[in-house]
Copies of this chain bind each other. A is one copy, B any other.
Amino acid sequence: MAGTKTNAGNFFEDFTYGQVIHHATPRTVTDGDVALYTALYGSRFAVQSADTFAKALGYPRAPLDDMLTFHVVFGKTTPDISLNAIANLGYADCRFLKPVYPGDTLSSTSEVIGLKENSNGETGTVYVRSTGRNQHDEIVLEYCRWVMVRKRTKGSPAPEAVVPKLPERVDPQDLGRAVPPLDISKYDFALSGSPHRWEDYEPGEKIDHVDGMTLEEAEHQTATRLYQNTAKVHFNQHTESKGRFGKRIVYGGVVISLVRALSYNGLGNAFHLAAINGGRHVAPTFAGDTIYAWSEVLEKAEIPDRKDIGALRVRLVGVKNQDCASLPLKTPAGEYAEGVVLDLDTWLLLPRRV
C-alpha cells in the first residue's frame, strides 16, 4: 500500500568489499552546536571554551570539541551502515586530522574494508573506514568501525570473508595533525584550571574523576538528534517498551562525551583527543543512570618534531550508578565488572613544559 521511497537501511547482502558510500546530509556546524555541546555535557577544556585562549596559542579561534566532530561525522553514517545493525562491535584507528571550526561544513563517506558472514547464516560483520571531510574536501577525521548486521535472507550467498588488519593503536607519529604549532609559553595554567603538564603524568597512574552526572531522556535525545543520528533505539519509546530493555537506549557517543567532559577533573590540560585506538560500549545506559569516570595512563609518547605537545595513551572508563573510588574495571575472572559501561583506549594531547 505505502510507497517504497523510504530508507529501509542496508542489510549484510547490500555491502560489497571496496564499496564507497557517500552519506547524506552535509552539516554546517556553528556556534549554536558548540553552545549546545557545552550545555549537554558541561565540558570545561579552555582551548575549546574560549577564543582568546585558543588564539593566544596559535589557533585562529576556538576549535570544536573533538567529540562533536566525531558525532556529526558518525551520525551521517547511521542510515547507511547501522540501521539494521544488531551490535556496534568496535572502533579502531580513529584519528583527528584537521581542526574543525564553527562555519565548517562536514560530510561523511565510508568504504567497506571487510565482510564476514557469521556461522548462523543470519548475520554478518561489516567493517568500514569512515571519513569526515570539511568544505575544502580536507579529511578532518577517519576511523574504522565494525558492526554486526542482519542478513535480508537467511542462507543467502555469502561474500568471501575479508577481515581487515587494524592497528592495535595509532602510532604516535600520526598524532597531533589537528593541532597547529602552538606557542605553549602562552598557555595559561591558571585559566586552564590545572597545573599538570604532559611531564607530570606517568604510565600506571590512575585518576578517579570524582564527579557524576545523571542522564535524562530529553538530554540524550536532544544530543543524538543534534548529530542527525537516526538510530531508532534512542528515540522511540513506543517500540522500545516492547524491546529487549523496555526502554530507550542512550547513544554510546553521549556516554563517551560525558566521560570525556568528566575527565577534565584530573586531566584538565588534556585538551585534545587525538585518537581513539579502540573502544567498547560494555553495557547499555539508560535515562536515570548516573555516569562516573576514571582513567589510567597506559603509555606516554613524544610526537616527532613537536616540542609543544606530548601524547598520553589513556584508558577512559565510564561507570554507572557507582562512584569510581575503587576504579572498577574487571572481575578476577576477567569479565567487565558490574557497572562498567565504557572502556575507551585513547591518545590525549597535553602541553609540554617549555
Contact = CB atoms under 8 A, between A and B. Distances in A.
Contacts of A34: 30, 32
Interface in A98-143: 102-103, 105, 107, 135
Interface stretch (A146-154, A161-169, A203-211, A301-309): A203-211
Interface in A157-214: 190-194, 196, 200, 205-214
Contacts of A22: 190-191
Interface in A235-276: 235-239, 248, 265-268
A99 to B, nearest CB: 16
A49 B218 CA distance: 22
Contact of A44 (B51, B228, B238): B228
18 contacts: A2-B208, A6-B209, A22-B191, A24-B44, A24-B192, A25-B50, A28-B52, A30-B32, A31-B31, A31-B102, A38-B225, A42-B235, A211-B236, A212-B232, A212-B238, A214-B217, A218-B219, A239-B323
Interface of A: 1-3, 5-7, 22, 24-28, 30-36, 38-42, 44-46, 49-53, 62, 79, 102-103, 105, 107, 135, 190-194, 196, 200, 205-214, 216-219, 221-226, 228, 230, 232, 235-239, 248, 265-268, 288, 290, 294, 321-325, 327
